[in-house]
Structure 1
Amino acid sequence: MTAPALVALAHGSRDPRSAETIGALVDEVRSTRPDLRIEKAFLELSKPSFQTVVDRLVRAGHDEIVVVPLLLTRAHHATVDVPAAIEAAMQRHPGLKVRATDVLGLETSFLEVLDVRLREALRRSRVRELDALVLAAAGTSDALANQSVARMARLWGTHHKLPVTAAFASAAPPAAGEAVRAFRAEGRRHIAVASLFLAPGFLPDRAAELALEAGAVAVSEPLGAHPEIARTILARYAVGAVELVPV
């Protein structure tokens, strides 16, 4: 019995660095489970599209697919766009079983990845001292999704024993620059910003630009390809594969 195929489904971006980073992350997953058929796909803006990948898998004989949405929060893309794409795929291929797992989400283990990326940024900027941190994320009109980022920021701050503010690149205040200026108004001068984005693109670039203009001493790169994120993708897949098994 062939194991279900795994499709790592990202949103997509016009920035080619985004698709390259998602590709590197999927390669990381493949290196861990070479026995599985693993594909990357995008909801929009990048290629290959989800429907193209599904067609390819069906032609290869796969009749079960587990989709892991590469989204850090459960907002509009997770609750509307992903289910709509899956429904369209199953309508086009009668008999095909597709199961979407929970989103990648904000696992506490991702704090380790944040730390790795931030240490890289601090080395590049030759920064040795910090007195505040900003956790910059995409932001959404979904208050619960933004609250999950704020919880992540509090956990991160507790770990480092530093004040941390969550900031957002769109849809919700404060912006990264505003968060940095608020800390500077308190007299803090060594403020670093961590990018809680999965891949590069317009929003992380904008957040970094605003933060540096406001006086941040360093801004990290997005999470990118990392073994911990690959492990989380496979953990989500394992749950989805079990749910496809008939009771």
Structure 2
Amino acid sequence: MTTTSVPATGPRDRSRPALARSTAAAVCVVRGCTRPVYTGHACPECVTELAGQLREVGEYEGVLPFMVEPVRGGPGRGSPGYGSRPPLRLDVLAALDPRTLPTPEDDVWSIWGTIERISAWIAAERGETGHGLWYVLTQLQWAAGQEGFGDVADAVQELHRRAQGLAHDRPDGTLGDCLKPGCPGQVHPEGLGGRCRECNRPYLGLGLLKLQCAQAAA
């Protein structure tokens, strides 16, 4: 007769604390997200959202060249016809130039230069050659499993925000300081209200009214 012996380590512990330890998860490294992550460093929802933001940034390649001319009625010094504003939007030209690097005096990002730096980081981590937006998109899921992906996610979000601002897809200004205690973030327009870029707190309806009252009191 064949018998089955119990392993030397004893029966597997099925208690609640043991199960809790075995299913412990980290938090998604993408700014503003608090979803749990069991594999890699970013949740699937954020990876999908970042990929969508990258595709939108790519679409600005055909839009921003038409935004080089100053917007009629835009800010400028002096009287109409006598202002010192340059004939072209230097911020758009700088963003379209791959050689542009931000400085303490002028915090302008190159859209394509930033994408190339992201692709260079991914290629170095993978030990291969690759560059450009398509390469980043095809390797984004893999990159989300690597240490340092939080910096990549921050760069993509910031690049998307800046490209939107240059294309006048939304107002550049903020609605004010976040009202959440201890949060140093700024509330930016989003849809019919706003959202804090730091803690991701939404501001709609009464929350938006409280924010406006706080700014008026300040």
TM-score bracket relative to the smaller structure? under 0.3
Question: Structure 1 or 2: larger strand share?
Answer: 1
Larger Rg: 2
Question: Structure 1 or 2: larger helix share?
Answer: 1
Higher relative contact order (CA 8 A, sep 6+): 1
TM-score by length of 2: 0.24
TM-score by length of 1: 0.22
